[in-house]
Every structure is written in structure tokens, then in C-alpha cells.
Structure 1
Amino acid sequence: MTFAATILTLYPEMFPGPLGASLAGKALSRADWSLDTVNPRDFATDKHRKVDDTPAGGGAGLVLKPDVWARALDSTLPEMGDTVPILAMTPRGKPITQGRIREIASGPGVTILCGRFEGFDERLFEARPQIEEVCLADIVLSGGEPAALAILDACIRLIPGVMGAASSGVEESFEDGLLEYPQYTRPQEWEGRTIPEVLRSGDHAKVDAWRKARAETDTRLRRPDLWERYESARVQSASDARRKQKDTDQ
């Protein structure tokens, strides 16, 4: 099954962009995934093809018109169906997670609305509640296109066959709630720094233990927010296991 991506953007020339190169580009040429862009300007009804207007109540910038963007989105729905998630890139959205990326990548595709200017008229989300408002992080971009490219890249790399080795998509940061362990390669010594001895030992059990310990340490020091969630999940899992064992003993 081909993973189908539909992008609503005022700048369709930005796609596929970097996704036309490397592994994603090869996968696109093999039809492992497909890409379609929709320009909301094509759904404007005035002679100037306006897709935005001044903010109600005053203020700087322009706001994307709900009627135009709704018509553009609705034009994709019969083809994409109800099972395809619809994301709107906006700084007001919920940060997307690797877990959500994996859910999307396992499905038939995704539709992404690329915000611009001061963002979308709120009524678009009220009228189309299936739209998920998402962002990459607590940053503001000039538009949603770079964020859409990042999300597509995250999804495409999980499509079976795109990256080659199946474990390549699993042993990564965020996949198990932790940052990934540090990586090393040849030369064995560089500028007086050597690869940790355990990684040269050939003892896979010791290597796995070292990697797990470093992943936990780095997550605790660099991302206390991730570490807190990881610890909470681990405590809950242990509590559930003890409860199940108690029920079995009874």
C-alpha cells in the first residue's frame, strides 16, 4: 500500500524539496509513497484569488480565510477518505510526538495544512473538528511548509523498506521514551579520544547494558521532562506487574 501525502500550501514549489533526494526520494520514485499538493488559491472566488484578510478586531498581519481553506480541504476528502489524519501546522498546536508519527506512518497517508501569516481563522477548526492542530516545537517558522517536510520525513523513514534494516527505525531517540545512546565509529582513536572499551569488547550483553545506561543518564541530564515521563511509566508498569502477580497468587 502506498503512503499518500496531500499538502495544502500556498507554495507548492517547496515540495517535495529535500524529500526528493536520498532515501525518501528513492522511495518516492519507487512509489512507496506519493505526494500531491493543493493550492488554496485555486479555490478563491474573487478576481484577486485572496486566501487571507485582515484580523477581526485589528492588529498586524493577515489571517487565512476559513471559506477558501475549507473548500480546498474538502476537495481532498472524497479521495483521501475518513481514515487519513488531517494535520494543521500552527504554533498554537500540540507538539507532535514520535508515537503519533508512528501511528500516522502505519496508516494510508496524511493531509497537512501549511499555515502562513497570522495563522488560520479559528472557525476552520470549529467547522472541521477532524483537523489536528500540531507543531514541531516551541518555535515560530515563516510558514508551515518546513514543519510539514519534517513530519513527512519522519513518517516516510518508517515505511517498510525505506531505510533497509528494520532496527534502524527502532533504536532511535524517543522510540522507547529515552534519548538514543551515543554513537562511535572508526578511527578508534581521534585527537586523543578513544572509543569506549566496552564497545570494542565484542560482548553484546555488556554493550547493550552500557547503551541502556547511557541512554538513561543522558535523558535524565538533558531532557528532565522525558525522564520524568519515562520514570512514571516504569513505576506504573512495575505496579501493574505486581498487581497481576498478586491476583495470580490468589
Structure 2
Amino acid sequence: MRFHIMTLFPDIFNSYMSESIMKRAIEKGKIEVFIYNIRDFSNSKHKKVDDYPFGGGAGMVMTPQPIYDTYKHIIDTHGINNPRVIYLTPKGKVHSQSIAQEFSTEEDIILLCGHYEGIDQRIIDLIVTDEISIGDYVLTGGELPALILIDSISRLIPGVLSQNESFEEESFKDNLLEYPHYTRPREFMGLEVPDVLLSGNHKNVDNWRHEQSIKITKERRPDLYKKACK
């Protein structure tokens, strides 16, 4: 899969992509990440990328020309037809594991990181296929949400995670949160590992983990628990 990131702050992505699982995924050729500075595509003499909103109001709005020309450069350079173009915005559909799973089947994804008060609506009308939010709060830009999407999508691509890092039993599988985990030592500050995990009986371990998942989900995410019960 190829991720194409349109941003005003490309350096934000470099350090994250050079560490841990993302670094290994790139080295193994499972994902490719291309970063484009929208400012480089501005026709303005001073590389201006924002302007005052029509109708008045606080803040500035990202102008359409630099964004559109960045988009055209991406699709022309890589020969992409009808790509998924994701605009990260609080107005979008809230990101979820099922959405990440859907995106993980794409060959190319273009991520548009907004700033200021947002982007000119005509860009959304012309090129954006999906508007995605990472939660009901506002950030200073779309770079952190873009990183979250890249991470959550990449780890679902076959071969990105090793067997020891498998996503098959993680949170949100079957709308349940994940069960508790324990490792050595068996006792720590008076707290002991549950006996069932030391029993060697895999069926009992599986049952305990499932019961814990149900309990935790019911207590912490009743919305998910209702879905799990359907």
C-alpha cells in the first residue's frame, strides 16, 4: 500500500515513520509513504497557502489551488485512478477499526491534513472521497490524525505485524475490548497472576479471557457491549 500525505508540516511524519513497526513495514516493502509539502505547490510569489474567509469570521482558510495542484502531482506522478482521498476533519465520520479494515484493502490512499480554520469547501467537493475524524475534539491540524490512520491501517496489512504482534485478538474484535494481560513475575507488590493463566488449560484460559472482555466492555463501553450482544 502507498500512503500519500498532503501537509504543511512534512517533518512531523519523518520521525514516526523511522521507528518501530512503521519502519519495519517500510523496509519490508509492505507500505510506502510519500510526503508532499502543499506550500511547494503554491503559485503565490511568497508561497501563500491561506486567506481570509469570504463572509468574514475568525481565522484563515487554506486556499484551493496549492492543494489541488499537490493532488494532481500525486495522481499524475504515480498513475493513480480514482484514489481514496481522506480529509482529516472533526466534521467527518469517526474513525473505527472497521473503517481501518476497509481502507487496508486500498492500493493508494491520499491523506489531506488541514490547518487553520480548515480548507476551501471546493477542494472537498472536487477531490475528497472520505472525511474522517478521530474523535469529538479539535486539534491544531490534521497531522496527528493522519498518523493515527496510517498506523491503524498499516497494521492490518498482511506481513506488517509478526506473529507475536498479531492483531487477531485485539480490542474491538467482535465489538469487545481486550482482556487483561500478565507476564513475569507471578507476584508483584502483593498482586498475583490469576491462577487460571497458570493452569495450562487452554480452554479455561480462553473462557476466562472472553469473560473478562465482556466484563470490561460492559463496564467501560456500554455502547460497544450493546453491539456485541446483538
User: 1:96 matched to which residue of 2?
Assistant: 95
User: 1:107 matched to which residue of 2?
Assistant: 106
Q: TM-score, normalised by structure 1?
A: 0.86
User: 1:237 matched to which residue of 2?
Assistant: none
The Cα of 1:162 is off from its aligned counterpart by 2.1
Contiguous gaps of at least 5 residues in structure 2: none
Deviation sequence 1:60-92 (CA, Å, 0-9, x none): 211111232122212222425235421111111
The answer on whether the counterparts of 1:16 and 1:35 sit within 8 Å (CA) in structure 2 is no
Question: 175-184 or 161-170, which moves further after superposition?
Answer: 161-170
Query: Does 2:21 align with 1:23?
Result: yes
Distance 2:176 2:81 in 1: 33
User: 1:12 matched to which residue of 2?
Assistant: 10
Helix, strand or coil for the counterpart of 1:158?
coil
Q: TM-score, normalised by structure 2?
A: 0.93
Question: Structure 1 residues 145 and 68 mapped into 2: Cα distance closer, same or farther (>3 Å)?
Answer: same
The Cα of 1:180 is off from its aligned counterpart by 0.7
Question: 80-89 or 17-26, which moves further after superposition?
Answer: 80-89
Deviation sequence 1:18-56 (CA, Å, 0-9, x none): 121112112212322111111221222120211111122
Distance 1:86 1:158 in 2: 19
The answer on whether the counterparts of 1:99 and 1:175 sit within 8 Å (CA) in structure 2 is no
Helix, strand or coil for the counterpart of 2:166?
helix
Alpha carbon RMSD of aligned pairs, Å? 1.7
Contiguous gaps of at least 5 residues in structure 1: 235-250
Identity %: 38
Q: What pairs with 1:1-250 in structure 2 (closer than 5 Å)?
A: 3-78=1-76, 79=78, 81-82=80-81, 84-128=83-127, 130-165=128-163, 168-231=166-229, 234=230
| AA in 1 matched with 2:37 | N
The Cα of 1:138 is off from its aligned counterpart by 1.2
Question: Structure 1 residues 192 and 34 mapped into 2: Cα distance closer, same or farther (>3 Å)?
Answer: same
The Cα of 1:166 is off from its aligned counterpart by 7.6
User: 1:246 matched to which residue of 2?
Assistant: none
Question: Structure 1 residues 51 and 156 mapped into 2: Cα distance closer, same or farther (>3 Å)?
Answer: same
